[in-house]
């Protein structure tokens, strides 16, 4: 026994300790080290089992997200294309047109770019990039760069003759501002803001504000869809949970059927049903409920998106609700009744509060899925049923403004995370029951 | 009370039948009266119809035929929440999202009681089950026994005249169960409430009840106070179901009033009391309690029949000895003897003679 230490009296017999009071094994090694050694193999095995999925997630999920967030602030175009111009602009006072030296630097940058092989030329991307800031930039730069080899000193006049943009301080202000490796302009565009002539952040012109309203609409539609799935799903889940297993399974298949049908088929079916000449309108007209000339427009607008998405997302609400309701024994409601509660009171005060974890889980699930939903609004949304994801897709696929798309995507991601955090604060994720 | 005519009871089942599928009867022609303040236990194996009876009384199942009366009034069409019957469920059914106090307040709130009234009653009910300090706990923070007490308090807090209990002690360990048995009977008698208690545990039924109704096959097989039930079972089912029991098969050889002689299948003659036999030549199963088997010839009547038995096993259990015998081909014939100073401790292989008082050996229907 190591009785030398002061606390020796509370050391149990058989537990050897070293000078620092750490427990030792019977052959004198520190107990903790022995335990770590014994556990190492188990930990390695566990890590080996997790590693493939971990690698998959890092490569195909975490890395693209980081990449996207990086792209929303990354700003290489001006630096790459106009290194000399940027150096020359350092002395510019920002109010008058820059001096001849700056125009000469611009000429040199453009001439240097001409020398490069076509695939490495930087003026093209520069034109695209500057065009995001001022819409005439693309034309100005490409036209100028086509004729630049004929320019002669003084270059200031040559440029100013070539395009009116070079006679304006705005383009120089933009070049100077965007001549930094990181930019906030994509995020500004994503919240409908821009820089004015004093480089102050102001709201964009009224007719160019789209994204804030679109975010608002996306949230509003997601709330409506979440509520609709709840209103439709709660009674179904309640009924399912009250049935014997065999019948419940059969009906559950009916609930899950939408899962097993192609999304396109389902959405097309809604088009067939809801369109102007569709099944529902034809029926209403034929029974005389509405006139032939004022058919209800239920598709290619917000109504269409909400109907189709409610249908598609319904299982995500029903399943968590069902799994929670299944665990509520009928004896609770019976107990409430035996204590004198009417069936309504028993439901309201005893049954319903116990389904809240299911409602919360279903609600979070449906809301988060619908906030980033793309295909259904794209197919049946028309103009008024578009969501933010459609705008992101447009910037990736057609306008090719990936920086803006990345900014919008990052904002969507962050807002979902904030919502989840808020939810966790208010309700607590440990009360979630997904199934 | 068991003798009282059905109309006199506080709770009356009058020719009640219940079927779920329209083809088989779960409860067959049930007639039962429970007197005011009586503690009645419905005892039976699972599927015997006892829980169905309780659910019909509570109002969660409807009687297919017949009438259930509560305090003289038919209640078949009264919904459960208007019956005013307290109920304790098998798994307590304490509302998990409410505290103990809120659970107890629930029946009072739905009855529209004011706050101060509620608090007095809740306090009284909790003190009654010695749980006064647990007002603000959630059910999940309580042990099984504590939950049981709260469930009991909740069923009593609105002062019902009738309380139903559906196997309320099934989930507790043995020691706690015995303690709660005592608590429940004490409360029921102190408060003078009528109690209908369902269980499949015969010890529970015997120790707690004023009367026990033994259910099997949708019928009441016997309705009697516990001692009568144990000592004078009316048929083989009750004899087998209540307590430990030795059986021997044979044929009635002679009947003389309260005494008959049975010839066992091996030819041995034994004394018995005719219960379900009426004529000579009838096949019968006789039933003897292990503690009424006597191996000391001196303690039996002089002319009593005895029968040879071979000792197969001797188990020392402290207060009693349990001797397994082979009697007339039955190798599971048990004799229980008290651990008295002069008691013989038999060894396996011993041949002994056993007998019994004729009244302790009951000739029942052949099973």
User: What is the ipTM score, two decimals?
Assistant: 0.82
Of A331, A338, A349, the CB nearest to B91: A331
A337 and B158 in contact by Cβ < 8 A? no
Global pTM value? 0.79
Tell me how crowded residue A136 is: count the other CB atoms within 10 A of its CB.
15
Q: Are A418 and A298 within one domain?
A: yes
Cβ pair A297, A276 in contact under 8 A: yes
Q: Quote the longest CA-to-CA distance of chain B.
A: 76
pLDDT band (50, 70, 90) for residue A430: low
What confidence score (pLDDT) does residue B344 get? Answer: 85
With 60 as the cut, is the pLDDT of residue A4 above it? no
Domain-embedded: residue A292: yes
A198 found inside a domain: no
C-beta atoms of A338 and B58 within 8 A: yes
* In the predicted structure, residue A410 carries a pLDDT above the cut 50: yes
Whether A118 and A262 share a structural domain: no
- Residues B101-126 pLDDT 10s: 999 999 999 999 999 999 999 999 99
Identify the band that residue A192 occupies on the pLDDT scale cut at 50, 70 and 90: very high
Query: Would the pLDDT of A384 be above 80?
Result: yes
Q: Is A331 in CB contact (< 8 Å) with chain B?
A: yes
CATH code of the domain covering residue A277: 1.10.3720.10
A334 and A229, same domain (yes or no): yes
Please tell me the distance in Å from A251's CA to the nearest CA on chain B: 22
Residues of B with CB under 8 A from a CB of A: 58-60, 79-87, 89-91, 93, 95-97, 106-107, 110-111, 154-155, 158, 164
Whether A60 has a pLDDT exceeding 80, the answer reads yes
Asked if residue A204 belongs to a domain, the reply is no
Helix or strand holding residue B124 (H, E) = helix B115-128
Chain B partners of A343 at a C-beta cutoff of 8 Å?
A: 79, 81
- Do A308 and A223 lie in one domain? The reply is yes
- State mean pLDDT over A64-92: 92
Residues A65 and A81 placed together within one structural domain of the fold: no
Contact status of A332 with chain B (Cβ, < 8 Å) = yes
Structural contact between residues B358 and B304, judged by C-beta atoms closer than 8 angstroms: yes
Tell me how close the Cα of A328 comes to any Cα of chain B, in angstroms. Answer: 10
CA angle A181, A184, A189 (to 5 degrees): 135
Residue A425 shares a structural domain with residue A301: yes
Going by pLDDT thresholds of 50, 70 and 90, the confidence category of residue A6 is very low
Q: Are residues A65 and A100 in the same domain?
A: no
Decide if B86 and A336 are in contact by the 8 Å CB cutoff: no
Residue A339 within a domain: yes
Give the pLDDT band (50/70/90) at residue A14.
low
CB distance A170 to A195 below 8 Å = no
Report the candidate in A399, A380, A377, A402 with the shortest Cα–Cα distance to residue A390. Answer: A377
Question: Measured between beta carbons, which residues in chain A are less than 8 angstroms from residue B106?
Answer: 336, 339, 341, 349-350
Q: Are B51 and B166 in contact (CB under 8 A)?
A: yes
Q: How far is A235 from chain B (nearest CA, A)?
A: 21
Residues A264 and A325 in one domain: yes
- For the CA atoms of A207, A211, A213, A219, the dihedral, rounded to the nearest 10 degrees, stands at 170
- The three-state secondary structure class of B236 is helix
Q: Which of A25, A44, A69 is the endpoint of a domain? A: A69
- Per residue in B148-183, pLDDT tens? 999 999 999 999 999 999 999 888 888 888 888 998
Interface membership of A350 toward B (CB under 8 Å): yes
B203/chain A closest Cα distance in angstroms: 26
Tell me: do A167 and A226 sit in the same domain.
no
Distance from CA of B136 to the nearest CA of A (A): 18
Q: Tell whether A348 and A398 lie within a shared domain.
A: yes
Least confident piece of the model among A64-78, A411-425, B206-220: A411-425
A342 CB within 8 Å of a chain B CB: yes
Residue of A nearest to B164 (CA): A338
Out of A340, A353, A354, closest to residue B110 by CB: A340
Residue A353 in contact with partner chain B when CB distance is under 8 A: yes
Q: Is residue A40 part of a domain?
A: yes
Of residues B282, B275, B183, B193, the one with CA closest to residue B238 = B275
Domains: count for chain A: 3
A332/B95 Cβ within 8 A = yes
Of A329, A332, A341, the CB nearest to B81: A341
Query: Does residue A403 surpass a pLDDT of 90?
Result: yes
The residue out of A69, A93, A117 marking a domain boundary is A69
Residue A293 contacts by C-beta under 8 Å, 6 or more apart in sequence? Answer: none
The per-residue pLDDT for A212 is 93
* CB-neighbour burial class of residue A221 (10 A; exposed 0-12, middle 13-18, buried 19+): buried
Q: Does A346 lie at the interface with B, CB-CB under 8 angstroms? A: yes
CA–CA min distance A56, chain B (Å)? 41
Nearest-CA distance B181 → chain A (Å): 21
Q: In what order do the strands lie in the sheet with B307-316?
A: B330-338, B320-327, B307-316, B351-354
Could you tell me the CA-to-CA distances from B156 to A178, B104, B108 in Å, in that order?
78, 9, 11
Query: Does residue A335 sit at the B interface (CB-CB below 8 Å)?
Result: yes
Joined together, the tokens standing for residue A38 give 């014994």
Q: A391 lies in which domain range?
A: 211-431
Confidence of residue A28 (pLDDT cuts 50, 70, 90): confident
* Strand, helix or coil for residue B271: strand
Distance in Å, alpha carbon of A350 to nearest chain B alpha carbon: 7
Which residue of B85, B96, B111 is in closest CB contact with A338? B85
What pLDDT shows up at residue B4?
41
Q: Is the pLDDT of residue A272 over 80?
A: yes
User: Comparing A198 with B8, which gets the higher pLDDT?
Assistant: A198
Q: Which of A147, A163, A183 is the last residue of a domain?
A: A183
| Maximum mean pLDDT: which of A8-12, A79-83, A143-147 | A79-83
* Mean pLDDT along residues A67-76: 93
Select the CATH number that applies to the domain covering B244-364 from these four: 2.40.340.10, 2.115.10.20, 3.30.9.10, 2.40.50.140.
Answer: 2.40.50.140
Per-residue pLDDT band for A16 (boundaries 50, 70, 90) equals low
User: What's the topology of domain B6-236?
Assistant: Rossmann fold (3.40.50)
A404 and A292, same domain (yes or no): yes
DSSP B274-299: ESS--STT-EEEEEE-GGG-B--GGG
At how many degrees (to 10) do helices A352-371 and A302-326 cross? 140
Q: What percent of chain A has pLDDT over 70?
A: 94
Put simply, the answer to whether A338 touches B79 (Cβ < 8 Å) is no
Give the pLDDT confidence score for residue B110 in this predicted structure: 93
pLDDT band at B294 (very low <50, low <70, confident <90, very high): confident
The DSSP string of B40-100 is EEEE--TTSSHHHHHHHHHTSS--SEEEEEETTEE-TTS-GGGT--EEE-TT----TTS-H
Hey, where are the domains in chain B? 6-236, 244-364
Instruction: Indicate which of A244, A327, A340 best probes the interface with B, i.e. most B CBs within 10 Å of its own CB.
Output: A340
Give the rounded percent of residues in chain B with a pLDDT score beyond 90.
Answer: 58
- Contact check, Cβ <8 Å, A350/B81: no
User: A2: pLDDT confidence band, cut at 50, 70 and 90?
Assistant: very low
Closest partner residue to B97 (CB to CB) among A337, A340, A354 is A354
Which of B81, B91, B106 comes nearest A342 by C-beta? B81
Cβ–Cβ under 8 Å, residues B210 and B38: yes
Q: Do A337 and B81 touch (CB under 8 A)?
A: yes
Optimal mutation site among B60, B93, B103, interface A, most CBs of chain A within 10 A: B93
Whether residue A354 lies within 8 A of chain B, CB to CB, comes out as: yes
Q: Which residue of B has its CA nearest to A329?
A: B93
**Nearest chain B alpha carbon to A350:** B95
Residue B79 to residue A346, Cβ atoms within 8 A? no
A281 with A396, same domain: the answer is yes
Q: What is the pLDDT of residues A291-303, one digit of tens each?
A: 888 888 888 999 9
* Residues of A in Cβ contact (< 8 Å) with B90: 331
Query: What distance in Å separates the CA atoms of residue A208 and residue A358, rounded to the nearest whole number?
Result: 42
Measured in angstroms, the CA of A353 and the nearest CA of chain B are apart by 7
- Nearest CA to A273 among A305, A290, A298, A242? A298
In angstroms, rounded to a whole number, what is the distance separating the alpha carbons of residues B59 and A337? 9
How much is the pLDDT for A19? Answer: 73
Whole-number average pLDDT of chain B: 89
Identify the residue among A329, A335, A356 best suited for mutation to test binding to B, counting B beta carbons within 10 A and taking the highest.
Answer: A335
Residue in chain A lying closest to B84 (CA): A340
């Amino acid at each position: 026994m190591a009785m030398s230490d002061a606390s020796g009296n509370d050391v149990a017999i058989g537990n050897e300790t070293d000078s620092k009071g750490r427990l030792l094994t019977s052959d004198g090694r520190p107990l903790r080290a022995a335990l770590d050694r014994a556990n190492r193999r188990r930990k390695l095995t566990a890590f080996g089992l997790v590693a493939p999925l971990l690698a998959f997630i890092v490569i195909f999920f975490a890395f693209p997200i980081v990449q996207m967030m990086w792209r929303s602030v990354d700003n290489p175009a001006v630096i790459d294309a106009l290194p000399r111009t940027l150096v020359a602009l350092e002395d510019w006072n920002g109010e008058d047109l820059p001096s001849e030296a700056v125009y000469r630097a611009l000429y040199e940058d453009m001439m240097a770019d001409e020398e490069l092989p076509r695939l490495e030329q930087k003026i093209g991307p520069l034109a695209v990039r500057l065009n995001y800031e001022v819409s005439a930039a693309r034309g100005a730069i490409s036209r100028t760069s086509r004729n630049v080899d004929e320019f002669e000193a003084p270059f200031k006049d040559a440029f100013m003759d070539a395009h009116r943009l070079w006679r304006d301080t705005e383009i120089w202000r933009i070049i100077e501002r965007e001549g930094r490796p990181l930019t906030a302009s994509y995020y500004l565009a994503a919240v409908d803001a821009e820089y004015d002539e004093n480089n102050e952040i102001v709201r964009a012109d009224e007719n160019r504000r789209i994204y804030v309203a679109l975010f608002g609409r996306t949230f509003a539609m997601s709330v409506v869809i979440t509520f609709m799935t709840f209103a439709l799903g709660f009674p179904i889940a309640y009924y399912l949970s009250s049935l014997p297993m065999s019948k419940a399974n059969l009906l559950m298949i009916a609930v899950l059927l939408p899962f097993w049908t192609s999304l396109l088929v389902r959405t097309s079916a809604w088009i067939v049903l809801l369109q102007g000449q569709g099944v529902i309108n034809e029926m209403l007209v034929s029974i005389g409920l509405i006139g032939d000339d004022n058919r209800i427009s239920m598709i290619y607008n917000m109504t269409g998106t909400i109907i189709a998405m409610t249908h598609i997302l319904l299982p995500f609400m029903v399943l968590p609700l069902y799994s929670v309701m299944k665990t509520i024994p009928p004896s609770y409601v019976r107990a409430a009744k035996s204590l004198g509660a009417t069936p309504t009171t028993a439901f309201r005060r005893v049954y319903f509060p116990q389904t809240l974890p299911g409602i919360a889980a279903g609600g979070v699930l449906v809301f988060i899925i619908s906030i980033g939903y793309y295909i259904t609004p794209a197919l049946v949304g028309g103009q008024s049923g578009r969501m933010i994801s459609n705008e992101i897709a447009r910037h990736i696929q057609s306008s090719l403004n990936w920086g803006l798309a990345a900014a919008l995507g990052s904002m969507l991601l962050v807002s979902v995370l904030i919502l989840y955090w808020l939810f966790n604060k208010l309700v607590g994720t440990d009360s979630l029951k997904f199934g | 009370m068991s003798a009282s005519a059905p109309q006199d009871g506080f709770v009356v089942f009058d020719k009640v039948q219940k079927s779920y599928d329209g083809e088989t009867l779960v409860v067959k022609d049930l007639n039962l009266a429970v007197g005011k303040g009586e503690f009645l236990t419905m005892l039976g194996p699972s599927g015997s119809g006892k829980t169905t009876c309780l659910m019909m009384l509570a109002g969660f199942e409807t009687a297919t035929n017949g009438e259930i009366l509560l305090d003289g009034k038919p209640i078949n069409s009264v919904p459960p929440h208007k019956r005013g019957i307290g109920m304790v469920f098998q798994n307590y059914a304490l509302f998990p999202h409410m505290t103990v106090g809120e659970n107890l307040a629930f029946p009072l709130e739905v009855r529209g009681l004011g706050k101060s009234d509620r608090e007095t009653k809740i306090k009284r009910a909790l003190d009654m089950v010695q749980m006064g300090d647990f007002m603000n706990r959630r059910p999940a923070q309580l042990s099984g026994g504590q939950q049981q007490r709260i469930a009991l308090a909740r069923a009593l807090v609105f002062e019902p005249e009738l309380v139903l209990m559906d196997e309320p002690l099934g989930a507790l360990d043995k020691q706690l169960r015995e303690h709660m048995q005592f608590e429940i009977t004490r409360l029921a008698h102190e408060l003078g409430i009528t109690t209908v208690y369902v269980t499949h545990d015969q010890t529970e039924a015997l120790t707690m009840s004023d009367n026990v109704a033994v259910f099997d096959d949708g019928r009441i097989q016997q309705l009697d106070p516990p001692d009568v039930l144990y000592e004078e079972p009316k048929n083989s089912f009750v004899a087998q179901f209540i307590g430990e029991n030795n059986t021997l098969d044979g044929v009635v050889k002679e009947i003389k009033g309260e005494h008959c002689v049975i010839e066992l299948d091996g030819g041995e003659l034994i004394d018995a009391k005719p219960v379900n036999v009426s004529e000579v030549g009838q096949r019968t199963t006789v039933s003897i309690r292990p503690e009424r088997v006597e191996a000391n010839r001196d303690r039996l009547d002089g002319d009593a029949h005895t029968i040879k038995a071979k000792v197969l096993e001797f188990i020392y259990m402290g207060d009693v000895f349990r001797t397994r015998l082979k009697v007339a081909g039955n190798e599971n014939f048990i004799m229980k003897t008290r651990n008295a100073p002069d008691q013989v401790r038999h060894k396996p292989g011993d041949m002994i003679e056993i007998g019994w008082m004729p009244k302790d050996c009951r000739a029942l229907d052949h099973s």
